Structure 1
Amino acid sequence: MDCYALLPLLIVSSVMGCYATEDAQTKRPCLEMRSPNATQHVAHRRFRRGWIWKQFFVPEEDPAPQIIGELKSDFDKGDLSIMYLLSGEGAGDVFEIDEYTGKIRTLRKLDREEKAFYTLRAQAINRKNNQPIEPESEFIVKVQDINDNMPQFQNEPYMSIIPEMSPTGTTVMQVTATDADDPQYGNNAKLIYSILQGEPYFSVEPKTGIIVTSLPDMDREAREKYFVIVQVKDMMGLSGGYSATTTVTVSLSDVNDNGPIFQHNLYSFGVAESAPVGTTVGRIKADDSDVGVNARMNYSLEEKEGSDTFHIRTDPVTQEGIILLAKTLDYEAKRQFFLAAEAWNDHVDTRFLSYDEFRDRTNLKIVVEDVDEPPVFLLEVYDWKIHENAALGTSVGTVSARDSDTANNPVRYSIEKDTDVKKMWKIDPNNGTIIVAKPLDRESRAWHNLTVTATETRQNGLSSFVLVFIKVLDVNDNAPQFSREHHPYICEGVQSGELVDLISAVDEDEEEEGHQFYFTLVPEKRINPNFTLRDNQDNTASILTRRSSFTRQDRHQYLLPIVIADSGVPPLSSTTTLTIIVCSCHPTGHCPAGGVEAFALTMGLSIQTLIGVLVCLLMATVLSILMLAVRRRKKKQQGESKEDESKPDPWEASEKVLRYMEPGAEVDSGASPPVPLRPHPRRKGRQQWRAEVAASIRMSLRQSYNVGPEDEVFRQFIQDRLYEADHDPYAPPFDCLRTYAFEGMGSSAGSLSSLESSTSEQSPERPRDQGMPFMRLTLWHGGKEEETHF
């Protein structure tokens, strides 16, 4: 018996089992009845009662309405006193119950795939007292499946790729179909697969849907794609069932099972003899049925003459062999070439072919085509040398060109105008000899670059050109000169043997091993009483003093002619006269004008300079006269106010002694004694001390004019001057009266004199400002400037 037939009995027994048992002590049924109007529970003893079931299965897709079963209580006597009620899933919508008879019927068609079963509840109620006769009971209505759904393939479309030449039984892919019918009921959802199209190349497993190959050696080059139609049927493939189909596209991937093959045994090409290197001569290609990496080609050339005039490379896109020109061609020398070309695959698969089967050979014939060519020079570049003193008409060299064609036309030569500067060169148009047309000067131009053209003499003849480089060689034709302009000077009182100036020379000529210069005085003045010249043997010379006691009163300048000779062949020399100025140098040893006095003496002063000097002198004279007049006026006023002309003048400074006192004060025995000023050193003693200063210090001063403040020579010069000032006993500061001036009558600032305190004690009632002149005195004392008002 089918298990579905027992299901109603199981449901009925589970629902009605409650009435088959009673409490052993109280003998009450397991269901208690309660009236809605009762105030307490009333237990009723009764015998076993139960529902009467008829049918609870509904086939899907059955027409409605249709009675599917009946619910009836065993209390029902047929007097219509019991009312049956139905609730739960689908009650009133899918199912309804006859409240008098308990019969259940459907209201519409049922679909198992939409809902496989419904859970309902039934209840029997006494119409008279509206009390339940039977307890509410739950039951299930199951929808029976029928084969009303056809199978459907999943994950379409199906595509697969397998290598060509795959062995039999190679898995292609698996197709899968599903059926919405109940797989647990009958054979409605049991599927079987089969192939409608694709045999004998492919087959399918009936139950799994796995597609495999049925034939070996499927060749991609013969057929690249296969379309396999697979059918699926339910009901185990029996008649009356549903079926569906799908298409599987099977593509064969390529393997290297074919070698390259040339379609011709001989390929012919032509190339002009004037073609430049790298010109494409032609293309060849070996056919290969494979694709992708399996069809990649390599080519090689083998020239029977072994000249390597051509080479071949592979075009990565078309896999063609491109034949290129590797050397220049000459129709007159060789008119055709015979070569052998070979092609082979990059990727070799020995499962299908041997190594020899992956190669193929063919022959090439390349014909050289004649072209009218321009003349050809024997050399690519001409490089010549000639001395700058070469005479006009001297031959520099000869260029030569010939017509390489079989006609061998004569050629004529010419020099391009833009390269023949000032027509310094000429060329013989017939033989190509270049000669000197104008004098040469290496110092003006050391290299001459010419472009020589050779042209065929026939009508519309072709031309070619060549570069000619001419280097002009140096000869010793320039005398040496001073490397810079010199303005030497010496200080008055300079010592013998001191360095006046350091001279050097330059030469425009070119020496391979460098120049060597020689410095001397002119022969008639080799023995100079004032100066001597010392050649330092390093292309420099030193001018030294031979005596001392140079003074401007005796002579303000000296002329010193110097001869400079070079080491050329033949040697050349030049004479230059230096003007040495005698200068009144500063105590530090340098000339105030820095050598400018030399220009003033030799070149003279300009009118503007003379006017400026005269104006300055005139202004200074006027100021001096005014100051003298003011001082005389003050003295006159002071003389009239004196009571006793015999008293010493308080402003008198005699014999470098300053008497410092307030006007009107008397000089008595208690006054301070006069303070003598520190005597100014005499020039003779100062010159004697200066003689002890090293000559190199004074020379460093001269060199410092040509350097900046950051230069080492400049810093050393400053340090030497500081040391000289600190240790010079004759240098300032020494006490001296510097300046004084009349500033008017009286001052609101009061007296600043250091003598005011003592004077005030002697004359406490003396007024400060009653017509007394107010003076300012500036002194140098102990190296410091002091200003005193009184």
Structure 2
Amino acid sequence: MRRQVLLFILIVYLNSVSYSIPEEMAKGSLIGNIAQDLGLDIKRLTSGKARIFTNDNAEYVELNRDRGVLLVKEKIDREALCAQTTPCALHFQIILENPMELYTVVVEITDINDNTPIFEKPEMAFKISESAVLGAKFLLERAIDPDVGKNSLQSYFLTKTENFVLKLKDQPDGEKIVEMIIQKPLDREKEEEISLVLTAVDGGEPNLSGTAQIHVTVLDANDNAPVFTKTIYKATITENAPKGTVITRVTASDADKGSNSKVTYSISNTAADVRHMFGINEINGDLMLKSNVDYEKARHYQIHVQASDEGGLTDSCKITLEVIDVNDNKPVINIMSQTNVIPEDSKPATVVTMVNVQDVDSGDNGKVHCTINEHIPFTLKSTSNNFFNLVTDSELDRERASEYNITVTCSDEGVPSLSSSVTLTLQISDVNDNPPVFERSSYEAYIVENNTPGLSIFTVRARDADWNQNARVSYILEDSSVNGVPVSSYVSVSADSGVIHAVRSFDYEQIKDFQFHVKAQDGGSPPLSSNVTVKILIQDQNDNPPQVLYPVQSGGSVVAEMVPRSADVGYLVTKVVAVDVDSGQNAWLSYKLQKATDRALFEVGLQNGEIRTIRQVTDKDAVKQRLTVIVEDNGQPSRSATVIVNVAVADSFPEVLSEFTDFPHDKEYNDNLTFYLVLALAVVSFLFITCLVVIVSVKIYRWRQSRILYQSNLPVIPYYPPRYSDTLGTGTLQHVYNYEVCRTTDSRKSDCKFGRAGSENVLIMDPSSTGTMQRIQNEKSILDEPESPLEVIFGLFNKSRANSLHHTQILFISK
């Protein structure tokens, strides 16, 4: 028979293609151009890694990607593949990836006449009584031809004989039973042994045939043959029935008597594999199971039983046996295509894995449904019969789950249900979708001033939920300026560790704090980043000693505070005013009297630096008093400064001059000095008189206004001078005093210059100061009770004179 590829394309659902080829084609023979028939480019087969998926253990077809054709991989024997089943076909799928595609291919295997009819028993023996009636039938062994269709067994021929003739009897299932019928009576005396040849011929071109020998022994008369109660017996058996199970019983009877009526049963005209599975009790006709039956291998059996008497007469019947399916096969899960790694930004409905499920059971026992474990972002969708796609059901997040163990469980609908499962491991690859996140929303760090450049101040940390390079965080100092200077000249940031270093040494007195931004950037592409604000607070160090503002110390001059001998206890001599540019406790100042000419006469306020008398001044006290005051801050260790305060205890200037004048006795120098002293005294006196006139005029004006208010019975509102606060804001100067100092001129002729008397018009509103409150009451009494102009003049004169002596400073200059 000419072998060639017969191509027919039938487009069915799911992009299927069908081919038809004869069996026994040589290895490498062409089946068909699959690329052309599916409308695919050959390059698509290569890029998609096209491959064949089949449920059969043996692969008979191979795919040539380069040519895009299907070839015979192994020689195909249709009889071994399908037996008598028609049509016989190979079913498989072609799978492509990127994207995944599935095509179904059916290759029909057609039969060729390559098998000769064969008799399982090459010799048959019959014992026939000579009294056998005409028309008596004798069932012959039939020949077996594995081919199908016209190539199968078609007819039988018997060698020419006068006594017998062949008769073919068609069964409802299409089988042909061969019977040998007596057409002429036998005569044992003439011919005791008869040899015949039975020939079986198929319908192939050319036709093939097989033969068997028939030996007939003519016996003495046996008039009646056994007769079965039924021609066809029907029975069922479950596939899990144990060995020895009695399936059914056949019964035949013989009308003869004696030994001629004794019937024996045997299986005949049945394939050898069937005879191995079933047996019959030759005495009672019970059909028994000799080995296990499998519904998935054979669902129906036909067993021919022959009943024979001892006279050689026979009858036959057929048992049609149906195997009932039992749910004894688990579903078989086949992974057709699988993706092991999927990026976390994959869109929903992305195909991850293709699964094929097979259950060889039938009915409900073969119906399969599959599920996957819950609470995972995947779902299983059925694409066609027994084909499933595992697809993404929602968005993936590697930071929430980097790996999924997906268990696919398939169960049938049998009772009890059988199931099988397979676990798929799927890795989620990272995508840079998370920016670095700092541990805090903002940072504050402290550093003590006068630090060493390069000192580590603080560490900022940011974490990135991504993985590998996408989670590698680098720290960058954002460009900004502090007081017009780039922040990079103040601090630097380590790119790897986030450690902030001081670039310079900080001075608290110049800058107390500053802030900047640090950016954390990951290593993804494109990179993601986030910013955080870092505030650096400079902590003060006690690196500045107190600075004395008053009294002013000059190199070649002597400054003296004048104290009248009539001064009472607690008389305010002066106040040492000092500041400390440090802050906090480093700027808390305390004043102590370190040295004094007479320690029993003066004391210094610990907190305010006021120098006051602690006893009554007497005539015995020296005019020239030298006090050394030390000013200390509260730092650790503390710093200090000293100031020398000269105090003149005297009631007049000449007395002071005699004590504090210590110059050379040069006549010209003394004359000049005397001249300038007289001139200075005259100027001061003139200024004093002028001020006195102005004050008297103001007082007279106020007196007249108050008289008018007093006579008009209107309420008098007293005037209270405002309280002045500390102008330095350091907390070290609690009261404000007005000091007027006369300094030297540039003329070398000038020896000294006296400061004019300064009127004390500033009142300190301090409830703790009884002297101040007394002065306030005095001022108030002037407004409340009118005085005469003469009283006002004498009162102001006396008060001004006292204040002039109280607050007069003398500056002695040595040449």
Shorter chain as normaliser: what TM range? Answer: 0.3 to 0.5
Structure of higher RCO (CA pairs closer than 8 Å, 6+ residues apart)? 2
TM normalised by structure 2 equals 0.34
TM normalised by structure 1 equals 0.34
